[in-house]
Structure 1
C-alpha cells in the first residue's frame, strides 16, 4: 500500500486547509481547543457551514447528496479538521442512521429522512442502551406492540447522548418476546415530541449534561416509521454498530492530541528540563505514536475495502479496541504532562502557576477529556465484547 499522497490528494489537502482557515469561525475553534461546550447552536452552525460546501456527508453516495469521498480524502479531512480544532459533527444522523436507511430503508424513507439530516431539520439521538441492556444489547426490554397503523411503545433507554437537543430518536424495540432474543427486535424511528416521551438528564461528575434517560409511556409510532422488516432489527443494529465502531477509532483526533502532548513535553518547564528528557515518558510517547501510525494505516485499508463492499466486519471491532486504547493513553500522557495544572476546579489555587506551559490554556480541558474518554472503551460495545467477537470470528466461529 502506497502511503504517500498523490498530487491530486495534496491539492485536496490544500483545499481543506484553505477551507478551515477561511470558513471555520475562530470563536468556534477556540472553544474546541480549550475544551468548552460548543452547545446546540454552535453544532448546528458548523453543520450548516459544511453542508453549504457539500462536505457534510463525506461517506454518503452522491445520489443521496453526499460527497462520496474515497478513504484517503476522508482521512485527510479528519486529520485537518482535528488539527484546526474543528468541531466533531454529531454522528447519530449522518454516520449511524443514514447508512442504515441507505441500505435497508424504503425509497419513501430515504427520500424524506436523508435530506432532513443534511439540512439540519432533524437532530437525531440513539435509543439502544437500557438500564439492563448495555453491552448485552440483545436483552433489551423496551416493547413495541402493533395496534392497527401504529406501534405502542413502552420502556426506557439510557445514556442517550445529547437527547436533550434531539427531535428524533432511532430505537431498538422488542416486537416479539417469544423468540430468541436477537430475532424479536425491530428498528423504529420515533418523534421525540410524541406524547408519552420524557427525557431526564444524567449530570456527569464534572457537572455537564451530556447524556440522558428517555422514558416511553404508551407512545404511538406510525407503522411507516419501521425500518426494514419487523423482527429484523438486530441485523440493522449490527450494521449500524460497525459504522459507529469505525468512527470511534478517531485517528485524526488522536493525532491532534498527540501533537499537543509532544508540544507541551518538549517545552522547558520552570526550574527543570523538558519532560521529554525523561526516558520513561519519551518511551511512552514513542510507543503510542508507533501504535497510532499503524492504526492509521489499518484504518485507511479497512475503510477503502468498506467503500467497495459495504460495512466492515470484524475489522471494525479491531479498530474500536485499538483506537480507544490509543486515545485513552494520549489522554493519560496529557494529564501527566501538565501535572497539577490539570486539576479540575482548582484555577483559583494555581492561578498564574501554569505560565511555563507553551499555552497556559492547554491545561484546562485535560482533566475533563481524561475522565470523559474513559467511556470510549465501553460504548459502541465494550472492548471486552469486541475481543470476544474478534476471537470468535478469527477462530472460525462465524460472526
Structure 2
C-alpha cells in the first residue's frame, strides 16, 4: 500500500494492520497496543475504518523487538522524540535552528525564552508575576527550614503558585505561555534575598542577582549571568526535560510538569554538578594547585566535576562562551586560572574538556556566591526550556511517553508467597 504525504509530493510506503502485524510477528490487537503505548504511530485510512502504518517505523520497531528479545541493548539507549526546539551538531547547539551561543550573547534571557516558546523575538521582553502568586510562593518558601536547598524551595514555590492559579489546568498555548511568563519571575521572587530586601525590578538577571550575591550588581557580571541563563535555557532531551515531557504527556499542568523537572535536576549528575565544581575550585584556590585536589577526587572514586560531556567531543560551547566573558572581569582571573589548572592536570591522563558546570563554578566562586548558586541559575534558566517542551508535548497524543518494560523476572504464574510468622518479642529484663 502506498500513500502520499500531504504537502510533500512524496510517496511513502504504508502498511495495513495485517501487514504490520505480520512484519512484527504479533497479533493485530498487539499492533494497536503498540499505538496506545506510543511505540508506533498510525493514520486512519481515508474513507475507511482501518489504520495504516509507516513501513519504516514498523521495521524499526521490529528490529528493536528482536534486540530486546535476545537481550542486546539498543544503541545509545535514548528515547527518540521529535522536537523543533534544540539540535546539537558536533560542538555547537541551536535553538530553533539559530546558534544558541550567538543568541544568548546578543539577547536577554527573556528574549531567548520567547524565541524558544514562540519562534519569535520580543525585544525588551520583561517577565512579571502577579502579586498573589508571589505572595503565596514567598510565604510557603519562608516557612521552610533555613538549610533547605534551592530545588526544594522552587518545588514548594511551584506548588504554592499553582494553588492560587485557577486556570492552571488550561493547557492551551496562550494559557501555558502566560503561566511561563509568571512562573519564572515567581521562582526568583520566592528565593531568599542576599541583600536584605524584596525589591523586584529590572531584568530577570538583575532580580536573580540579588538572590545569589550580596555584592553590587556590576554590569559585566550581570551580563555573564544573563548570558548563562540564555545558554542554559534548553539542551535537547536532558534527563530533567524528559521527565517534564512525560508529565506533560499525562497532561499534568505546567506547574506540575516543571516540578517533575526540578525533581530530576537535583541529582549530582545534572543541575547539582555546578555546586561540586564550585567546592573543587575553592579547594584548588586554597591549596594553590589542582594536583592534590584531583588526586583526592580520583582516590575517593569520584569523577572530576566540571569536565566532559557526552554530547560534545571538545569543549562544551556554553563553557567557552562564559569563559570568554569572565576573562574581562579581573576578579574572575584566579578562579579562571584554577579551572584551567584542573583541565590541564586531568588532561595528562584523560582527554576531558571543560563543561558548563566548571564555567558556572568560576562565575559563582569569583562573585562570592554560595556553592548552590550554580544550581539555582540552572534551575531558573532551564524552566524556559521545560515549558517549551511541555508545550510541544501538549500538542502530541496523550500518554505516548509510555515505554514498555522488558520483564526478566520469574516466569508467571508463580505460586502465592508463603507468609512467614512474625518473630516473638523478647521478654523484658
Using structure 1 for the length normalisation, give the TM-score.
0.28
Larger radius of gyration, structure 1 or 2? 2
Higher-RCO chain (CA-CA 8 Å, sequence separation at least 6):
2
TM-score, structure 2 length as denominator? 0.26
